[in-house]
Amino acid sequence: MQCWQINEYGEPRDALKLADKAVPVPGEGELLLEVKVAALGLPDVLMCRNNYLFSPQLPFTPGQEVVGTVLATGENCTTSVGSRVMAVTAFYNGHGGLAEQAIAIDASAFAVPATMQDAEAAGFTIPYHTAYVGLVTRAKLNPDETVLVHGAAGGSGIAAVQLAHALGARVIACASSDEKLQLCKQSGADLLINHRKQTVRDAVMEYTNDIGVDIVYDPVGGETFTDSLHYVASEGRVLAVGLASGEWGQASTGLAVIKNCSVMGVYVGAYGPDHMSAAHAHLMALYGEGKIAPAVDQCIPFSDVARGLQRLADRQVRGKLVVQIA
């Protein structure tokens, strides 16, 4: 079967090569999928650069999430052959979704409603489940709170904007261009901050009458995260989600003490099937009511994967970039 493979680390445009490899065999709790559409995410870029916590050994096929049809199942799976599912792949074993066939984790596979397009379903699971874990499970968001989202037009960020808005919060979106912020506005953001034109701290304090925000959702890390402790409110929560900037931020314990605020890690992969199923049911109900809807930047052909992932690395994507495979 055809796949994209990383044989040597580098930028996506150089590291990704088209290859032929044997169809992988699903192990216990795993599914073999015929991939219809795969979604790209920054972790795929970080895997190309060998800067990802769960990078597989070389050579490997990246691609963390897909929509596809189940061709075969390993032992102890609950999903049936023939089902159309959205799922997280076993990318960490080298069998990611940028391939004609991929291995998916049975516990992360959910039936796709007939009304949902493949392009929407492909990039649903990781961004919305992460937003759910961060905002609902960890931060216990109250409807009257204010949530600031960094990297708000990115794959993770836009899901958090939509979910926070759907749950009744006031949403502040931070992004690097007015075009990106336009998508955030369409997704329910109340205040838009272009961090290349405005100082985030000043804009937040002005909007909140010097109180600060209740929750910061941060997939960016670095200075962005570190600065967030200056404008989180008393008893607020700063959620460390990712390191799109290339590095984790540093939290000042002194500021956390003075503000009675919390710094929380958010890792969607740590939650088991029961939590995932309950979160998924809640998320699909919101999707059914039209309150959340995956923002697809573009659906690109399989042959364009290296160029597409480089666009993502270069911060030129709004929402999710997805790949038509079958």
Ligand X SMILES: NC(=O)c1ccc[n+]([C@@H]2O[C@H](COP(=O)([O-])OP(=O)(O)OC[C@H]3O[C@@H](n4cnc5c(N)ncnc54)[C@H](OP(=O)(O)O)[C@@H]3O)[C@@H](O)[C@H]2O)c1
Interface residues with ligand X (CB under 6 A) are 41-43, 126, 130, 151, 153-157, 175-176, 180, 219-220, 241-246, 266-268, 312, 315
User: Which one, 233 or 321, has the nearer CB to ligand X?
Assistant: 321
CB 65 within 8 A of CB 97: yes
Spatial CB neighbours of 196, under 8 Å, sequence gap ≥ 6: 176, 177
DSSP state of 90: B
Alpha helices in 99-177 (DSSP H): 118-122, 125-132, 155-166
Closest-CA residue to 127 (of 274, 323, 319): 319
Instruction: For residue 237, give both structure tokens.
Output: 């929560």
User: Which one, 182 or 324, has the nearer CB to ligand X?
Assistant: 182
User: Which one, 69 or 245, has the nearer CB to ligand X?
Assistant: 245
Give me the least distance between CB of 241 and ligand X, in Å please. Answer: 5
User: Which one, 14 or 210, has the nearer CB to ligand X?
Assistant: 14
Give the N- to C-terminal CA distance of the chain in Å, as an integer.
Answer: 12
Give me the least distance between CB of 219 and ligand X, in Å please. Answer: 4
User: Which one, 235 or 314, has the nearer CB to ligand X?
Assistant: 314
Give me the least distance between CB of 164 and ligand X, in Å please. Answer: 15
**H or E element: which one contains 322?**
strand 320-324
How far is residue 265's CA from residue 116's CA, in Å, rounded to a whole number?
A: 31
Distances (CA, A) of 130 to 34, 156, 249, 270: 25, 7, 19, 11
Task: Give the chain's count of helices (H) and strands (E).
Answer: 11, 15
**H or E element: which one contains 203?**
helix 200-207
Give me the least distance between CB of 73 and ligand X, in Å please. Answer: 26
> Hey, which residues does 33 pair with through a beta bridge?
70, 102
Give me the least distance between CB of 71 and ligand X, in Å please. Answer: 27
Give me the least distance between CB of 243 and ligand X, in Å please. Answer: 5
Give me the least distance between CB of 244 and ligand X, in Å please. Answer: 3
Tokens 């075009």 found at: 179
User: Which one, 16 or 32, has the nearer CB to ligand X?
Assistant: 16
User: Which one, 32 or 200, has the nearer CB to ligand X?
Assistant: 200
